[in-house]
Amino acid sequence: MSEFVFATAQYDSGDWDSAPLVPANVIDTIARYTSIDVAPSGVIVPLSSPSLFRYPLIYLTGHLPVRFGPAESANLKKYAERGGLLFVDDHNHDIDGTFHKTANEELTRVYGAIKPVPNSHPLYSTFFKFEDGPPTTTHELNGWGDNLVHKTLSGVERDGRLALLYSSKDYSSEWNYHPENKRFMSVDNTKFAVNLVVYALTR
Amino acid sequence: MRSRAEIRRNGEWLLRAMLLAALGISLWRSMRTTAGASTTTTATSRTVDVEVERAITSPAAASLDLSVDGEVSRHQRDALLALRRAGTHVTWHGDIPPLAVEVVREREPDARARLMITGGGSQPIVLADSAGTIDTVRASQGATIDVGTVVGDVRAAIGAHAARANIPAASSRRGVMVLSRAGWESKFAISALSEAGWVVRARIPAAPNVDVRDDGLLPLDTARYDAVIALDSSAADFAPAIARFVAQGGGLIAVGGAMSLDLLRGIVPAQPGERRVGRILLAEDTVTPPDLPVRPLTTLRRDAVTLEKETAGVTLAARRAGLGRVLAVGYDESWRWRMLGGTSGVGAHREWWSRAVGSVSPERDTRAPSPDGDGAPRAAIIDALGPSSSVATAVIGHASNPLPLILLVVIVLALLTEIASRRFRGSR
Amino acid sequence: MTAHARLLQLRTRLALALTTRALLIGTATTLALLIVARAFTLPGWVFAVITAVGVAVAAPFLIRVRDLRALPRVALWVEERAPTLQYALVTIADGTHSPRLEAQALGVPWWTDAQKVLWRTLIAPAVVTAVVAAISIWNPLRVGGLVREAISRVGPTRPGAPVSDVLAIVHVAVTPPAYSGKPATNLNDPTSIEALVGSSVTLSGQGDPQLLTATADSAARSVAKRGDGWSLSVSMPSRPAIVRLQSAAGRSRLIVLAPIADAPPVVTLLLPAHDSIVRRAAGTYALRAQLRDDIGLRDAQFELVVASGAGENFSFRTTIVAHTVLGGSLERTLDARIPLDSLALKPGDVLQLRAVARDGNTVGGAGVGSSETRSLRIARADEYDSVAVDAAPPPEAEAQMLSQRMLINLTEVLEKRRPKLAHTDLISESRRIANDQKKLRKRVGDIVFQRLGNDPLSEEGSDEVERGKISPEQLLKLADSATSAASGSVMDVEGDETPILAINKPLLEAFNAMWDAGRALEVGEPAKALPPMRIALAAIQRARLAERIYLRGKPGTQIVDVAKVRLVGKDKGNASIREVRRPLDPAMRRRSETFERVTAMLARNPDAAADSLLLMRVDALGDAPVLAAALDDAARALRKRDNAAIPLAWTRVRRALAGHPVQRAGISPWQGAP
């Protein structure tokens, strides 16, 4: 059986590598709470490359405008059809921001209309229970973004499962620290990543 | 000189006489056939119904030789057999090609049709159904044809000879249980089976004492499930129930570590070998099963049937265990076929998993009887009437005798004309 | 009036009455049979047979008129009803005249009674005929329509003649939307109309519009009168739909509206060819895009977004350049040159640009197509030693590629001139090229080493390589080991996910080929130098492609000690109950079932089967174009009763639905084996 490999999407436009410590932190948290066989390091996968299809869960983030090239759009379409889940997080956490606007425009072109994911969605109960939906991040009200707490995540479902999960909550900032730092934290703020991975592996 | 009225009346008498004469001839004919001498009649495939009917109504037909130049239906064959048992000497001759066809439904939710044909030597066999021609095939060594739909009977024909079969009604399928740790293999196997129409329930452990499981998972029995898929050793706690399920007629697909579980070791057809890495492809997104990582099956049991073999070794083997069937699978990363298999990968992966489950699912169909004809016409006629004879044909042309029809026309015309004439001149 | 004259008059009336009675009986029989026949769908010749039966029934009654030629028979008919005439009338009819006979014959007013008898003989057939006619008029059957239909089935409709079947021929005129500039087209009796969304579709035919009802997409549409016929106008919808025409005679016609969508423009950015990082934003940036559209381009422009800032604090500026009105061209190239100074780019800024084109669609809104995005980043001072920084504003093509091309050109020219050159001149010119090749090779080597995380090749380092301290093979090995280290453990099928390897291998190949080329040039053998020079050029091109895919910087690798942290988390998860995933109901399976039903209907009711195929076509147009085309062919063949085409069309539909039959030699020992 192959191990789970956390993959970060590399795209032609924008700063795809703006949260370099997120993969390690997610891998750490998967190992910390689950028995899922997980690779010790993440990989970076260009959206335009067929290697994309090796990773049925892909994480994409950035601050800058997102414009998918034809190869990237075509690959993402196939990725959704085949059962992949793309998790997009706005590193700006700003719904007026350029990342949000351009990413939504591009993702809508590929996936169709993006709709709010209800807080009763299985995503929030598949491993840990998040009664109020997606956990709030400390970055949402830090003044840099739109200064809003986003009540839901958005997404697109295909055949009853999420094919796209879009977050304006800036988990990229929230989880962008070295996993060793968790020993100084009273509450682990990466637990939602477990739900995300377990959901992707079981639905 | 006779008046017109007299001529008319004489004409009417003439018609009455004709009528009586025609009736008399008919009566004489019927008396004559009853008292006549016995004959040998030769029938062809087209005239067999008429000759059988004649032989039944006329004891004079002491023997019947059938010249088979086309299809002889089941009921025709049954009638000939009945005739023989009633005392008529029935023989047959003709060159019926050895040919057999059978149609089965795949034991899958979409219940596709599979045609199995054999015979015909080097001649092409034309397959058709009510909707038209399906395909042409040479099947001296046997051939299998997968077709999505079949409308009505299937006919496999060589010239005028044909074997017929009809498709059994599809039976509804039951669920599939998937037991596996959280991973891409279980996720995509479940997706593939759901897309193919199976109702899938799964138990997926994600951490000690934390399972992701479907509602209504238990109990495991043949009333609720067709098959169990055990993708790894996480099925250990279910092993006793799985062994019982298979013994009762359920199906099991065992992959990887599941084959080595103590209670399943005795029923699986093989054991997994050392893992071989998959092929590194220069052109990605073209993955097919031979490219996948594999644990080739080793120590195959004597009664195991090898179904797939790659260069690395046997990758698929099956056997019967109790009333059930067990399939051992050497691939434990088939999901790569779906994700990296190009445009056809999703469909091929789905079809493969659905077929794998179908191949171990219990038979729940009631096999439909063959239609007006049979699946193996040569074998059937030999079975019913014995081997072909070399009786010289003695043609008696009963079938082409037009006399009864002429008599009938004469009777009807004479009767109508006489009545019309009488009524027109005012007589009752 | 004499008795003879009265007798002649009665004969005329009697003939008239007999003829009328025969006609009434014949008509009643025909109508009654038609009422029965309407319950079945019968071919046209049956209606001819029904008419013949009516004539046959009337004929015996009509033949009796012939008997009236003999006047004594008329007289006898009267005497039978008025015995008091004592054969006086018969005697007169035989030609004997006498006053006594005349008086005796006129003594009884037999002509009045005869008149009454004649009327009475007509009452029963007239009543029956009236009842049958009333039933046929009242009944939705509308026998008249049936008759007209029968006529239309038996023979072709004559142009200009009054048309009895309003659906005998349906003409279709399609006028595409004005923006497309395409001409109008006409079709006769189509099963399907394919046209641009928003096209005006006018269906017309002969006959009374009141005898026709129409629906489009289940909504009733009014049928208008046009000349001596009817017409119906619909606009081509954006999704497939059905127009159903229903005649008063009970005949219906389905026509599929199959829309063709106006595709958005296809925009390809030709220049700049790749992303760049530069130290200083100076000079001119050339932009070029190729634009294509299926109908016509309206306008196009370049969009520039400048992102400034770092970390959490970014600001953005958007600029439009080279907005061009294209006036409906199908294909154009858009060019622009932007002075980078004018954008006031600061270190750390990123300029993103793309080309955007719009088509002239006025129906569903202009389609917008955009190119991929290229970026130009101004490096910060602390990034100057980064490998990705170009020394100057980007040229229009990759520098080393141009250089290698130029060197090849120079070498080819030298090789051509070689027979005419003195040996010393040949050596001198060849070494000059070799020197340039050596410089280029060093530059390639620098890039490789820098990317592997080492220092650029110094002149000494370069000499080391050339002196054999590090062979090209060793260099390649070094790169491979660096690659392995960067990617962690090599996985089986995942072993080649190392961008550095993908880029560096071709560059190293180029590095080696340049070495061979340089040596050949050093000894004055340009012909021998050319093949490795071309290999080097091809390798550089491959490296460029790989770079486009992979390299935007060197990602850092964090390795987690999974074993150490395994299950040390304080919190525990909860068992989760999934809802059983509902099995999908694939459209093809549903369509296969419908097709089986249609096939079963084929022999019984071909028109209904054709209609069902057209409904399936509407469903398939969106996602199964091959099936939709096959269904259209099958429906058309059925409508035309083309017995030769129907089996072929049926096979096409079946194959489009369930795929081609898959043949395998042999019969599996295990039923259902995958």
Contact C373 A13 (CB under 8 A): yes
Strand runs (DSSP E) across chain A, as ranges? 7-10, 43-46, 57-62, 85-90, 115-117, 153-158, 161-167
At residue C289, what is the residue type? A
CA distance B302 to B320: 11
Determine contact, residues B394/B42, Cβ cutoff 8 Å. Answer: yes
Res. A96: pLDDT tops 80: no
- CA of residue A76 relative to chain centroid, distance: 15
Query: How far is Cα C388 from Cα C377, in angstroms, rounded to an integer?
Result: 10
Q: Of B130, B135, B104, nearest to C661 (Cα)? A: B135
- B142 contacts C667? CB cut-off 8 A: yes
The residue in chain C having the minimum alpha-carbon distance to the alpha carbon of residue B105 is C672
First to last CA, chain C: 107
Q: Which residue of C276, C277, C316, C373 to mutate against A (max A Cβ within 10 Å)?
A: C373
Q: Give the closest residue to A20 by CA, choosing from A1, A2, A43, A39.
A: A43
* Chain B interface, best mutation among A4, A29, A53, by max B CB count within 10 A: A53
Q: Residues C160-175: what's their mean pLDDT?
A: 73
User: What's residue B350's pLDDT?
Assistant: 93
Out of B191, B195, B206, name the one closest to residue A198 (CB): B206
* Residue B297: other Cβ atoms inside 10 A: 26
Selecting from A2, A56, A126 the residue whose C-beta is nearest the C-beta of B212 gives: A126
Say whether residue C597 is in contact with chain B using an 8 A CB cutoff.
no
ipTM above 0.85, yes or no: yes
SS3 category, C370: strand
Q: How far apart are CA B113 and CA B167, in angstroms?
A: 7
DSSP C534-555: HHHHHHHHHHHHHHHHH-SS--
Least confidently predicted of A86-90, C48-52, C313-317, C642-646 = C313-317
Confidence of residue C387 (pLDDT cuts 50, 70, 90): very low
3-state secondary structure of B392: coil
Among residues 269-328 of chain C, which lie with CB inside 8 Å of chain B?
none
Helix axes B377-385, B74-85, angle to 10 degrees: 10
Of the residues C491, C493, C648, the best mutation for testing chain B's interface (the one with the most B CB atoms within 10 Å of its CB) is C493
pLDDT in tens, C610-652: 889 998 998 888 888 899 999 999 998 988 888 888 888 888 8
Q: Do A37 and B293 touch (CB under 8 A)?
A: no
Q: How far are the Cα atoms of A38, C281, C353, C354, C377 from residue C336, in angstroms, in the given order?
A: 50, 17, 12, 12, 19
- Which residues does C283 contact at the CB level (< 8 Å), separation at least 6? C339, C340, C392, C393
Facing A201 at nearest CB: one of B182, B195, B210: B182
Phi, psi of A128, deg, nearest 5: -90, 155
- Which amino acid appears at position C495 of this protein? G
In chain A, which residues touch B (CB < 8 A)? 1-2, 4, 33-37, 49-51, 53-54, 56, 78, 81-84, 126-127, 159, 161, 198, 200-203
Give me the residue from C578, C661, C665 closest to B134, CB to CB: C661
Neighbours of chain C (3+ CB pairs under 8 A): A, B
Give B316's contacts in chain C (Cβ within 8 Å).
Answer: 673-674
Cα-only R_g, chain C: 48
DSSP-assigned letters across all residues of B221-276: -TTTEEEEEE-SGGGGGGHHHHHHHHHTT-EEEEEGGGGGSHHHHTTSS-EE---B
What would the pLDDT profile of C516-557 be if each residue is shown by its tens digit? 999 999 998 999 999 999 888 888 767 665 554 333 344 456
Please judge whether B112 and C658 are an interchain contact, meaning their C-beta atoms are less than 8 angstroms apart: yes
**Is-contact C486 C533, C-beta < 8 A?**
no
- Write down the residue that tokens 């001119």 correspond to: C284
The pLDDT score that the predictor gives to residue C238 is 83
**pLDDT mean over C191-220:** 86
Using CB atoms and an 8 Å cut-off, which of residues 627-656 of chain C contact chain B?
647, 650-651, 654
- The residue among B137, B14, B1 whose CA lies nearest residue B421 is B14
Residue C352 in contact with residue C305, Cβ under 8 Å?
A: yes
Q: The pTM is what? A: 0.63
**Strand blocks (E) in C340-418:** 350-359, 368-370, 374-378, 389-390
Residue from the list C578, C659, C673 with its beta carbon closest to the beta carbon of B148: C659
- Closest residue, chain B, to A200 (C-alpha): B187
Between strands C662-665 and B139-147, the pairing is antiparallel
Q: Report CA dihedral (C415, C419, C425, C426) to the nearest 10 degrees.
A: 30
Burial class (CB in 10 A: 0-12, 13-18, 19+), C391: exposed
Identify the pLDDT of residue B406.
80
Residues of A (144-183) whose Cβ lies below 8 Å from C: 144, 159-161, 173, 178-179
Q: Give the number of other Cβ atoms within 10 Å of residue B271's Cβ.
A: 16
**Nearest CA to CA, how far is A142 from chain B (Å)?**
35
How much of chain A, in percent, has pLDDT values that exceed 90? 64
Q: What does the mean pLDDT of chain C come to?
A: 77
Q: A160: nearest CA in chain C?
A: C581
CB nearest C350 (choices: A41, A64, A194): A64
Say whether pLDDT at C569 is over 80.
yes
C581 in contact with B, Cβ within 8 Å? yes
Q: Which is higher by pLDDT, C660 or C386?
A: C660
Q: Write down the pLDDT at residue C61.
A: 84
Residue A112: its pLDDT value, please? 92
A73: contact with C, CB 8 A cutoff: no
Q: In this predicted structure, what is the pLDDT of residue A192?
A: 95
Q: Which residue of B135, B166, B295 is the best one to mutate when testing the C interface, meaning the one whose CB has the most C CBs within 10 A?
A: B135
Residues of chain B found within 8 Å of residue A53, distances taken between Cβ atoms: 284-285, 339-340
DSSP characters over C552-602? SS--------HHHHTT--SS----EEEPPPPPP--HHHHHHHHHHHHHHHH
Question: Among candidates A65, A106, A69, A71, which has minimal Cα distance to A86?
Answer: A106
Mean pLDDT of chain A: 90
The pLDDT, as a whole number, for residue C163 is: 45
> Is residue C236 scored above 70 in pLDDT?
yes
Q: Any CB–CB contact under 8 A between A38 and chain C?
A: yes
Q: How confident is the model at residue C116 (pLDDT cuts 50, 70, 90)?
A: confident
Alpha-carbon gap, residue C634 to C602, rounded angstroms: 11
Contact B207 C663 (CB under 8 A): no
Whole-angstrom distance, CA of residue B180 vs CA of residue A4: 14
Does C571 touch chain B if contact means CB atoms closer than 8 Å?
Answer: no
pLDDT digits (tens, 9 = 90+) for A149-193: 888 999 999 988 999 999 999 999 899 988 888 877 778 899 999
Q: What is the CA radius of gyration of chain B?
A: 34
**What are the CA-CA distances from residue C80 to residues A172, B142, B368, C100, C323 (Å)?**
120, 90, 76, 21, 110
One-letter amino acid of A68: F
| Positive or negative: CA dihedral B180, B183, B189, B191 | positive
The amino acid at residue B316 is L
pLDDT, residue C39, reads 52
Alpha-helix runs per DSSP H in B44-197? 48-57, 74-85, 184-195
Q: Give how far A113 is from chain C: nearest CA, Å.
A: 17
Element (H, E) at C19: helix C3-37
> Can you tell me whether residue C87 is helix, strand or coil?
coil
pLDDT at C579 over 80: no
Q: pLDDT tens digits for C119-137?
A: 888 888 899 899 888 877 7
In chain A, the residue whose alpha carbon lies closest to the alpha carbon of B332 is: A1
Burial of C344 (0-12, 13-18, 19+ CB in 10 A): exposed
Longest dimension (CA), chain C: 164
Q: Which of B368-382, C363-377, C382-396 has the lowest mean pLDDT?
A: C382-396
Chains contacting chain B through 3 or more C-beta pairs under 8 A? A, C
CB neighbours (10 Å) of residue C260? 14
Q: What pLDDT digit, counting tens, does each position of C50-66 carry?
A: 888 888 888 888 888 88
> How far is residue B6's CA from residue C213's CA, in Å, rounded to a whole number?
66
Of all residues in chain C, the percent with pLDDT exceeding 90 is 9
**Which residues of chain A lie closer than 8 angstroms to C493, CB-CB?**
54
DSSP B33-82: HHHS--EEEEEETTTHHHHHHHHHH-TTEEEEEEE-SS---HHHHHHHHH
User: Does A129 reach chain C within 8 Å, measured CB to CB?
Assistant: yes
Structure tokens at B28: 């004489």
Mutate to test the interface with A, among C269, C276, C314, C316 (most CBs of A within 10 A): C314
**pLDDT beneath 70: ranges in chain B:** 1, 30-39, 59-61, 280-283, 365-373, 390-402, 427-428
> Nearest CB to A125: which of C493, C560, C576?
C576
Is the predicted pLDDT of residue C482 greater than 60, yes or no? no
- B195 close to C586: Cβ distance less than 8 angstroms: yes
> Which pLDDT score is estimated for C674?
66
**Considering only CB atoms, which chain A residues are within 8 Å of C499?**
44, 46
Sign of the Cα torsion B340, B344, B346, B352 reads negative
- The pLDDT score that the predictor gives to residue B296 is 94
Q: What residues in B contact A127, CB-CB < 8 Å? A: 206-207, 210, 212
Residues 479-498 on C with a CB inside 8 Å of B are 492-493, 495-496
Residues A7/B339, Cβ–Cβ less than 8 Å: no
Tokens at C27, concatenated: 């008509």
C-chain residues near B195 (CB < 8 A)? 583-584, 586
C462 pLDDT above the threshold of 50: no
- Does residue C400 surpass a pLDDT of 50? no
pLDDT tens digits for range A18-61: 898 999 999 999 999 999 999 999 999 999 988 899 999 999 99
Residue B85 Cα, gap to closest chain C Cα (Å): 38
